[in-house]
Amino acid sequence: MRKVIITCAVTGSIHTPSMSPYLPITPADIAQQAIAAAQAGAAILHLHARDPSDGRPSFEPAVYRQFLPCIHAETDAVINITTGGSVNMTLDERLAAALDVSAEMASCNMGSMNFGSFPVLDKLKVFKYEWERRYIESTRSSIFRNTFADIEQVFERLGSTHGTRFEFECYDVGHLYTLKHFVDRGLVQGPLFLQFVLGVLGGIGPDPENLVHMKAIADKLFGDRYQWSVLGAGRHQIPLITQAALMGGNVRVGLEDSLSIGAGKMATSNAAQVTLIREILEKLGMEIATPAEARQMLGLKGRETVRLP
Ligand code: KMH
Ligand code: ZN
């Protein structure tokens, strides 16, 4: 029976505290929700940090170290640290936490792009913290920067030096060709783990035929040397990842990607989304990969290599 890897992206940097009372902000909340997500079946935890005082995205290794040891001690899930950070961080800042713990896995974003969350301002008018409105509005004019040189640095400083493997975030078909370019240059080796990201404003849209096309192009470029997963932004999350699983892929859920669960209901936790997709997959006759199985499928360096107590 095929094993499906569930990744849970616990908090991210796109959503802000006023959008959902369930979005984990403090280190204690992030740890608690991450552990519950792992217990519900997530083999990989994709993690960002937030400033405990007001929830703004943080890159500080010291803040990560307020929740990572607890997650590492309580679960054997793969800890996957973002290098995407948030749009206004420098590359050094974005790499700091993954370097600090010699991460087993880290995200790697495969191209510079627009990344707009500003349409939410049409509906969201009341903010808990003043930074939120400015931050969301800034996505109208900022660029999510991931140049070829930036990506080379991620490979060199994390991949070559630490043996970190990557969740390659591909927001459009062109990003697959960029990854192929780096594979051809020998800068990254398989098994590759591609995350197809559909539904971000600035990336490919959340249409089922786009997913079919991205998979077809990835097959052509990478043959059988890759694993793939899908995340659907917002309300497209569950339908798109169910399609992905039926097509042979893995899935990503989490409040980083969607604050809702099913049709228009607010998700009260990350674990609730993990449980929902787990039930769907099991009803479809699939099995959920354990962290050990995910490590084997993705050729990871192992939990004990991470610098966490
Ligand atoms: N927020 C997602 C659309 C990263 O952390 O590197 C993509 C993401 C980026 O997870
Ligand atoms: Zn992320």
Q: How far is CA 279 from the centre of its chain?
A: 21
Pocket test for ligand 1, best of 19, 45, 109 (most atoms within 8 A of CB): 109
Q: Which domain holds residue 205?
A: 3-305
| Measured distance CA(290)–CA(285) in Å, rounded | 16
Q: Are 252 and 230 in contact (CB under 8 A)?
A: yes
* Residue-level pLDDT at 27: 98
- Residues within a 6 A CB radius of ligand 1: 9, 12, 14, 82-84, 107, 109, 169, 197, 200, 256
Does residue 263 carry a pLDDT above 90?
no
- According to the model, what pLDDT value does residue 61 have? 98
Which ligand is closest in space to the CA of residue 10? 2
Mean pLDDT of 301-309: 98
- In the predicted model, is pLDDT for residue 190 greater than 90? no
- Using pLDDT thresholds of 50, 70 and 90, give the confidence band for residue 155: very high
Residue pLDDT, tens place only, 66-97: 999 999 999 999 999 999 999 999 999 999 99
195, 230 Cβ separation under 8 angstroms: yes
> What is the C-alpha separation between 138 and 159, in angstroms, rounded?
31
Please tell me the predicted confidence (pLDDT) of residue 38. Answer: 99
CA 46 to ligand 2 centroid distance, Å? 6
Instruction: Spell out the long-range contacts of 36-40 with Cβ–Cβ below 8 A and sequence spacing 24 or more.
Output: 36/269, 36/270, 36/271, 37/8, 37/10, 37/77, 37/254, 37/269, 37/270, 37/271, 37/274, 38/8, 38/71, 38/74, 38/75, 38/76, 38/77, 38/291, 39/75, 39/271, 40/271, 40/274, 40/275, 40/278
Distance from C-alpha of 248 to C-alpha of 250, rounded to nearest angstrom: 7
More confident residue, 2 or 49: 49
Q: What distance in Å separates the CA atoms of residue 160 and residue 138, rounded to the nearest whole number? A: 34
pLDDT digits (tens, 9 = 90+) for 22-46: 999 999 999 999 999 999 999 999 9
Which ligand sits closest to the CA of 84? 1
The amino acid at residue 299 is G
Question: Is pLDDT of 12 > 90?
Answer: yes
Average pLDDT value for the chain: 97
Q: Which of 13, 107, 112, 158 most suits a substitution to test ligand 1, by most atoms within 8 Å of the C-beta? A: 107
Q: According to the model, what pLDDT value does residue 80 have?
A: 99
- Residue pLDDT, tens place only, 124-154: 999 999 999 999 999 999 999 999 999 999 9
Peptide bond before 191: cis, by omega within 30 degrees of 0?
yes
Q: For the residues 91-111, what does the mean pLDDT come to?
A: 98
Ligand 2 center from residue 10 Cα (angstroms): 8
121 Ramachandran zone, left/alpha/beta (phi>0; psi -120 to 50):
alpha
Domain harbouring 110, CATH code: 3.20.20.70
- Look at residue 257 in the predicted model and tell me its pLDDT: 98
Number of domains into which the chain is organized: 1
CB atoms within 10 A of CB 225: 11
Kindly give the number of the ligand 1 atom that is closest to the alpha carbon of 83.
6
Q: How far is the CA of 55 from the centre of ligand 2 (A)?
A: 15
Q: Which atom of ligand 1 is nearest to the CA of 9?
A: 10
Q: Is the pLDDT of residue 1 over 80?
A: no
Query: Using an 8 Å Cβ cutoff, are 203 and 175 in contact?
Result: no
Residue linked to tokens 């809702």: 260
Q: Which atom of ligand 1 is nearest to the CA of 13?
A: 1
pLDDT of res. 102? 98
Q: In the prediction, which pLDDT does 264 show?
A: 82
